């Protein structure tokens, strides 16, 4: 069996079975219910909620409760971030009460607003403290707990193998490693070979993340890391079917529901837009959808007139947005679409 073919096999996280080994990464402001259901329908093996602030969820504030809502998919995985053990434990209990099958702990987010609060990848600077959060979550729930991390804080602190090993001893059932340090953010090339040191340090499944866009990337990251699964994130911008197409290349059959022409793409994007308006309500949905519409235009159009792009991204009238979207995408050549769909 080749590395790529391995991705088509099921994977167990504790007593939870995942249908294949190509995962959609949790992305704040991106992987909401409308996006996750699409990615899963296209064939992604696992999809994860947006990162949820544990303190906000524990205190019942903001949109945190909305973010953990069960979307009806076979496996509901919720990612939590935070710095207080009590909040992390309570948030995990709330998420499980809402139907979460797996709880993921975020120790990889590089955003300043997260690390400035001593959460996300900032926790990799103090593994003893990080373990208090892991212990709290594992002790609070009966479902599998997983962990997402980076290689370390910077090139002087590449402690992902140590954190993974200690997390496994604490009861974590799977670790995901993004092949960059926090200080790299998303610059440069992810170091796939460095993830191998994490794989060698644990016996639980390891998921390799970072710069996975194509089936060839997926095969390459598996070869260099020895990981058990792959996770793709930003390559889904404007292409929610990315993980599904990689899984299909691994031998799971054709990806389901991928648009194959500009007219199908227009219908697809309009449907995604309308689903977001239903999910958030018109006023908020208009704003939430704009980044997605921009990504679709960036990926699937060329030489789009500025005025047409402006109408798509600034109009407050849903019908005008839809008509402008169709106009923009209809101008895109069918023969070029196949090159940009993957």
Q: Are 3 and 210 in contact (CB under 8 A)?
A: no
Closest CA to 119 of 130, 135, 103: 130
Q: Which residues are catalytic?
A: 109
**Please, which residues bridge with residue 229 across strands?**
207
189: its two tokens: 């090339």
User: What is residue 25's DSSP assignment?
Assistant: P
Q: What angle do CA 53, 55, 58 make, to 5 degrees?
A: 110
Closest CA to 288 of 50, 100, 56: 50
**Please, which residues bridge with residue 149 across strands?**
107, 177
Rounded to the nearest 10 degrees, the angle between the axes of helix 262-280 and helix 318-330 is 160
Q: State how far the Cα of 92 lies from the Cα of 147, in Å rounded to an integer.
A: 13
Residue 76, Cβ density class (10 Å: 0-12 exposed, 13-18 middle, ≥19 buried): buried
Q: State how far the Cα of 58 lies from the Cα of 35, in Å rounded to an integer.
A: 25
């Amino acid at each position: 069996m080749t590395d790529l073919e391995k991705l088509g096999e099921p994977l167990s996280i504790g007593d939870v079975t995942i249908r294949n080994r190509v995962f959609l990464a949790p992305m704040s402001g991106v992987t909401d219910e409308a996006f996750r259901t699409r990615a899963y329908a296209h064939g992604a093996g696992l999809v994860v909620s947006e990162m949820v602030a544990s303190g906000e969820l524990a205190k019942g504030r903001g949109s945190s409760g909305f973010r953990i809502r069960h979307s009806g998919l076979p496996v509901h995985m919720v990612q939590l971030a935070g710095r207080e053990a009590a909040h992390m434990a309570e948030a995990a209990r709330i998420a499980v009460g809402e139907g979460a099958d797996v709880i993921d702990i975020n120790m990889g987010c590089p955003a300043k607003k997260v690390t400035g609060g001593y959460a996300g990848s900032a926790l990799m600077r103090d593994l003893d403290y990080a373990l208090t959060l892991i212990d709290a979550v594992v002790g609070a729930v009966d479902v599998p707990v997983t962990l997402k991390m980076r290689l370390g804080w910077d090139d002087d602190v590449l402690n992902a193998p140590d954190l993974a090993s200690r997390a496994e001893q604490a009861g974590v059932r799977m670790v995901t490693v993004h092949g960059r340090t926090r200080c790299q953010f998303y610059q440069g090339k992810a170091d796939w070979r460095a993830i191998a040191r994490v794989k060698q340090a644990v016996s639980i499944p390891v998921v390799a993340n970072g710069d996975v866009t194509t089936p060839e990337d997926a095969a390459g990251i598996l070869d260099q890391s020895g990981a058990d699964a792959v996770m793709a994130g930003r390559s889904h911008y404007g292409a929610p079917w990315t993980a599904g197409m990689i899984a299909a290349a691994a031998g799971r059959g054709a990806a389901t529901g991928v648009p194959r022409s500009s007219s199908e793409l227009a219908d697809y994007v309009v449907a995604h837009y309308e689903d977001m308006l239903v999910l958030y309500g018109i006023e908020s949905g208009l704003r939430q959808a704009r980044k997605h519409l921009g990504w679709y235009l960036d990926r699937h159009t060329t030489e789009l007139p500025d005025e047409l792009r402006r109408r798509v991204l600034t109009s407050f009238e849903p019908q005008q947005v839809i008509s402008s979207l169709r106009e923009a995408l209809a101008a895109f050549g069918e023969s070029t679409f196949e090159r940009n769909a993957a």
